[in-house]
Amino acid sequence: MFKGILITKDDAGYKAALQTIDPTVLPEGDVTVQVEWSTLNYKDGLAITGKSPVVRRFPMVPGIDFAGTVTESTNPAWKTGDKVILNGWGVGETHCGGLAEVARVKGQWLVPLPKSFTTRQAMAIGTAGYTAMLCVLALEKHGIKPQDGEILVTGANGGVGSVAIALLAKLGYSVVASTGRLHEDEFLKSLGANLVIDRAELSAPGKAIGKERWAGVIDTVGSHTLANACATTKYRGAVAACGLAGGMDFPSNVAPFILRGVTLYGIDSVMAPLSVRQEAWQRLARDLDPTKLDAMTREIGLSEVIVMGAELLEGKVRGRVVVDVNRD
């Protein structure tokens, strides 16, 4: 038996609760991990509150991330004592996830923990930080250099946005942070933002094409924000879209793409192949300032997860939240 968050759905309704879990709840897998740290992402908030049909199997342990130590393995790639990370693969949605003391998963879903990170630091990064790195890599591979101009980061106070700002600043880019929480401007500037703007500048319906400004964009919001970002990206610039905090719609048109040659990259962190994941984590180990990571990270225990999940959806959580699954 072990402790964790368990989501159930029956005649009494949808419920998430901290409880003692029977190991028979865990699905099949060839690697068992003693989870040390997990984290909270936007998708976890949706799963915990039931505000979106994220969970598609019940009962379910939520948590799309975890880091810990292998305790059992029949997979030749892993042995007892190995330190591992998991991000995505439907964990916390269709396969029991990381907000519990134990997880059982497929070995091919795991990535080795970089030696420069502790398991806590890996979850301070989590899927949010790993996604931010995938976005940065997309802009780099497009050929965008620091001297090309400003990089816009939307949803800047969130997990992806916070890590993206820190990474871009370390790499020498000039970063403009868009947020609905302008009172957090000093925090965003401490991460490396050169300028902080009100999200209202981008969130209303805009023109088909606007004045060129951004060399590149990392967008976590979607909807009108993404449309306006595309409309104001420079000739042959690029936009990396990875989120939908503002909506799943994309009320845009072809003008930025056929008149300015703008490229829109879709960033998927859930099903990304192992080689892509390894590259992202290697770059995070090299390019993410650990002091900035600490500054954006808050620690909680399992008993605080349900309340924090709701607050995350309400936009009340800044930066990253790590969960010590071995304390209430």
Q: Indicate the domain borders of the chain.
A: 2-113+296-324, 126-266
- In contact, 114 and 282? CB cutoff 8 Å: yes
What pLDDT score was predicted for residue 130?
95
CATH class of residue range 126-266: alpha beta
As a whole number of angstroms, the distance between CA 306 and CA 48 comes to 6
- Residue pair 310/285 in contact (Cβ under 8 Å)? The answer is no
Q: Which amino acid is it at 280?
A: A
pLDDT for the residue 315: 85
pLDDT of 132 reads: 97
Residues in the chain predicted with pLDDT less than 50, given as ranges, are none
Q: Which residues pair with 322 in a beta bridge?
A: 39, 299
Angle at 167 between CA 116 and CA 301, to 5 degrees: 60
Q: Which candidate, 123, 101, 100, places its Cα nearest to that of 111? A: 123
String of DSSP letters for 44-112: HHHHHHTSS----SSSB---SEEEEEEEEE-STT--TT-EEEEE-TTBTTTB--SSBSEEEE-GGGEEE
Structure tokens at 106: 């497929």
The strand pair at 214-219 and 195-198 is best described as: unpaired
Amino acid letter for position 54: V
Q: What angle do CA 36, 82, 33 make, to 5 degrees?
A: 45
pLDDT of residue 86: 97
Contact 221, 246 (CB under 8 A): yes
The residue with tokens 């979850």 is 123
The matching CATH number, chosen from 3.30.479.30, 3.40.50.10540, 3.90.180.10, 3.40.50.300, for 2-113+296-324 is: 3.90.180.10
Q: What percent of the chain has pLDDT over 70?
A: 100
Classify residue 81 by its DSSP letter: T
In sequence order, the 6+-apart residues with CB closer than 8 A to the CB of 312 are 40, 42, 44, 45, 321
Query: By the 8 A CB rule, do 61 and 33 touch?
Result: no
Token pair belonging to 103 = 């997880």
Name every residue whose Cβ is closer than 8 Å to that of residue 13 and which is 6 or more positions away in sequence: none
Q: Which amino acid is at 169?
A: A
Burial class (CB in 10 A: 0-12, 13-18, 19+), 197: middle
Length of the chain counted residue by residue: 328
In angstroms, rounded to a whole number, what is the distance separating the alpha carbons of residues 96 and 109? 13
For the beta carbon of residue 174, count every other beta carbon within 10 angstroms.
17
